[in-house]
Amino acid sequence: MTRLRFAPIPAGLPATVPFTGPETLERRRGVPFVARLGANENGFGPSPKAVEAMARACAEAWKYGDPDNHDLREALAAHHRVAPENIMVGEGIDGLLGVLVRLTVAQGDVVVTSDGAYPTFNFHVAGFGGLLHKVPYRDDAEDPQALTAAARDVGARLVYLANPDNPMGSWHSGALIEAALDELSADSLLVLDEAYAEFAPDDAIPQIDPEDDRVIRFRTFSKAYGLAGARIGYAIGPAKLIAGFDRIRNHFGVNRTAQIGALAALQDNDWLEQTRRNVGAARERISAIAQDNGLTALPSATNFVTIDCGANGDFARKVLAGLSDLGIFARMPGTAPMDRCIRISCGPEAEMAAFAEALPIALAKAREV
């Protein structure tokens, strides 16, 4: 017997991180990247009003953040026209997903997701003893009908669906999501990840009553609002479920500066609209770069564009490695057949130009026998 022992569930898990960060890769390379286009960050930055508010708040960093996130919850409730009791703020969607899984999944419970979908959700399910069941993508998109059918077959506790989707950038209509809810069994809860909702067409957003006990929705300030480093997101769901988060969440997990910055960002709609325009222009730029190199850019409702490299996963990995050698940080889907693609985040023109210069070189190197 030793005092340095883990509990049974973590003892059986590998010590891994779902994503290798660009900082780790830069340390390995010994030089910084020229273009940081792999993490779907908002390279256009947060609202200057949010930056100013956070700068002022730093002088009072000696204070704990409000554990109720009161001001931000009230503002988010007004923004979404729901009650504050339908909102829970947390350490990004990642942190909130961990709390949800811990709250709802007992050891041995089955959870359904897509093979190739967001791996951090899977990380939490494994960490709390859930059993993952995966269904394939269909036509480079998550398949709501297959997800709900699988959930009925295996008696799933949770069903994860991102709309719009990461890593492919695809999306479904809100009407299709609403129809999928009608196919859920009585014991299943749909986990609807809407991290990229601000970039999506209006008709991609389902019209769901916040008290609908079949679904919990997640939003973030990491993407459109440019606050990925602040780690702040929120859930929208039935008041009874939202209240359950208070049983186990880290009540001081959202720092005061992040709360203040998110509130200021939420109130600056002009900056949000400018960001949407910038992202739209960058999507077109990435698509044009792909076309110039004989590649196909997939339609996107996110702040990234997935590019079909026209071969298999081995070839796409060579392209990705070539880009990295040239100072371009990018990523790719990890599951076949989507791994024939690379994924490029939208960014300012200087980074787009660097990608345009590097891509033909990386392609030529990948094609060498």
For range 211-239, the mean pLDDT = 98
Neighbouring CB atoms inside 10 A of 201's CB total: 11
Residue 2's pLDDT is 80
For 50-59, the pLDDT digits (tens) are 999 999 999 9
For range 70-98, the mean pLDDT = 98
Residue 1's pLDDT is 61
For range 263-289, the mean pLDDT = 98
Q: Which domains are present in the chain? A: 19-45+270-366 (3.90.1150.10), 48-267 (3.40.640.10)
Quick one: how far is CA 350 from the chain centroid? 25
For 285-325, the pLDDT digits (tens) are 999 999 999 999 999 999 999 999 999 999 999 999 999 99
Residue 65: Cβ-neighbour burial (10 angstroms; 0-12, 13-18, 19+): buried
Confidence check: pLDDT of 103 > 80 = yes
Confidence check: pLDDT of 279 > 70 = yes
DSSP letter at 162 equals E
Q: State the virtual CA torsion across 21, 43, 225, 301 in degrees, nearest 10.
A: -90
For 124-176, the pLDDT digits (tens) are 999 999 999 999 999 999 999 999 999 999 999 999 999 999 999 999 999 99
Q: Which two tokens mark 62?
A: 């000696």
User: From its phi and psi, is residue 40 left (phi > 0), alpha (psi between -120 and 50) or beta?
Assistant: left
For 31-45, the pLDDT digits (tens) are 999 999 999 999 999
Residue 369's pLDDT is 57
Confidence check: pLDDT of 75 > 60 = yes
Residue 188's pLDDT is 97
- Cβ proximity of 72 and 92 under 8 Å: no
Residue 99's pLDDT is 98
Measured CA to CA in angstroms, residue 32 lies from 23, 27, 299, 326, 344 at distances of: 8, 8, 30, 11, 18
For 187-218, the pLDDT digits (tens) are 999 999 999 999 999 999 999 999 999 999 99
Residue 13's pLDDT is 92
For 323-363, the pLDDT digits (tens) are 999 999 999 999 999 999 999 999 999 999 999 999 999 99
